[in-house]
Amino acid sequence: MQIGKTLKQFAQEEALNHPEIPADIASLLDDLAVACKYIGSLVNRAGLLDIRGAAGAENVQGEQQQKLDVISNEAILQGMAHTGHLAGMGSEEMDDPCQIPKGARRGDYLLLFDPLDGSSNIDVNISVGTIFSVLKAPESGRDVVEKDFQQAGSKQVCAGYAVYGSSIMLVYTSGFGVNGFTLDPNIGEFILTHPNMRVPADSKEYAINASNYRYWEKPVQRYIDELVAGKTGPRGQDFNMRWVGSMVADVHRIMNRGGTFMYPFDTKDAKKPGKLRLMYEANPMAFVIEQAGGAATDGRTRILDIQPEGLHQRVPVILGSKNEVERVTGYHQD
């Protein structure tokens, strides 16, 4: 049996073939992969370890933290703080940027992450995941400030996600396509299993929380009405809705067979212009989707062109198969 390339081997070769990719990104990814393996092992044993359920506190987003949110957050912070790659970190679960400990070697990169996306689904054994984004630090050797992280998504050096499902996978891009790796538990390594992942330009599947229909803007209602009408409507074909409620799981399905994921602007909470976080969710997923041939907008603007105004900024998100995303974005422009 031929053994496939490991994540680190592949990333090293990719950097050699594309000088634009910093050589130390391979090592950074390998260190991050260790944290993802640890989180994945806890997710798989959550019921046995009694680490399901609420932690009894809210995060900066005003959301009820799950026990595994807290544990996963600490796993990445501790796993990455002493690697020498980072100048600082930002987490969805923390109000302020995390500094590299005194005495630890500081690197040239910033790491942003959602430690456990979809954690509310843990109790019902639905796939969850980790989302990450890597930026170049404006300066190295000093404590980071929030402004350091406020870079447009187009500035990302690397981004991706890990999905903890029937198998554990890590999917990433450094700007030269998207590749997926599956964890082989027998040897403890992520092995290349999904080379050059591509999102079909057209699709008959879509993912959206239909219970919010009455709160959507007219362009989104128009688009969804057309899909629901199926063969009897203006599109002349049937569509299927698939909604997991875990962004990682929904986007991973789209990465494998196409579709459109939407969490559009709605009026349900006037204080929130969108549900998803630009820095921790929208930017990294938009980078991955675009590198796989898809598209990602907030309904009006390309996600990767949005200039962040805060570490925890929220935005609407429409991403996936290019032709479908362009259609619903066009309805907004009309």
Instruction: Consult the annotation and say whether 140 binds a ligand.
Output: no
Taking only the tens place, the pLDDT of each residue in 183-210 is 999 999 999 999 999 999 999 999 999 9
pLDDT of 1 reads 40
Domain-wise residue ranges, the chain = 7-194, 205-333
Instruction: Consult the annotation and say whether 117 binds a ligand.
Output: yes
Q: What percent of the chain lies above the pLDDT cut of 90? A: 84
Q: How many residues does the chain have?
A: 334
Instruction: Consult the annotation and say whether 281 binds a ligand.
Output: yes
Q: How far apart are CA 91 and CA 113, in angstroms?
A: 5
- Quickly list DSSP for 110-176: EEEEEEEETGGGGGGT--EEEEEEEEE-SSSSS---HHHH---GGG-SEEEEEEESSSEEEEEESSS
| pLDDT tens across the length of the chain (334 residues) | 445 899 999 999 999 999 999 999 999 999 999 999 999 999 988 777 776 666 556 665 666 677 888 999 999 999 999 999 999 999 999 999 999 999 999 999 999 999 999 888 878 888 999 999 999 999 988 999 999 999 999 999 999 999 999 999 999 999 999 999 999 999 999 999 999 999 999 999 999 999 999 999 999 999 999 999 999 999 999 999 999 989 999 999 999 999 999 999 999 987 888 899 999 999 999 999 999 999 999 999 999 999 999 999 999 999 999 999 999 999 999 8
Superfamily designation of domain 7-194: Fructose-1,6-Bisphosphatase, subunit A, domain 1 (3.30.540.10)
Instruction: Consult the annotation and say whether 118 binds a ligand.
Output: yes
- 7-194 with 205-333: one CATH topology? no
Q: What is the dihedral of CA 187, 193, 195, 201, to 10 degrees?
A: -140
Provide the sign of the torsion angle of the four alpha carbons 261, 161, 58, 309, taken in this order: negative
- Quickly list DSSP for 288-310: HHHHTT-EEESSSSBGGG----S
Taking only the tens place, the pLDDT of each residue in 65-89 is 778 889 999 999 999 999 999 999 9
The strand order across the sheet containing 260-263 reads: 240-241, 205-207, 260-263, 317-320, 295-297
Provide the sign of the torsion angle of the four alpha carbons 200, 304, 98, 9, taken in this order: positive
Instruction: Consult the annotation and say whether 63 binds a ligand.
Output: no
pLDDT of 61 reads 62
Instruction: Consult the annotation and say whether 114 binds a ligand.
Output: yes
pLDDT of 64 reads 62
For the 205-333 domain, the top CATH level (class) is alpha beta
Is the whole-model pTM more than 0.85?
A: yes
pLDDT of 247 reads 96
Instruction: Consult the annotation and say whether 269 binds a ligand.
Output: no
Cα diameter, the chain: 66
pLDDT of 62 reads 61
- Quickly list DSSP for 129-145: EEEEEEEE-SSSSS---
Instruction: Consult the annotation and say whether 127 binds a ligand.
Output: no
H or E segment to which residue 213 belongs: none
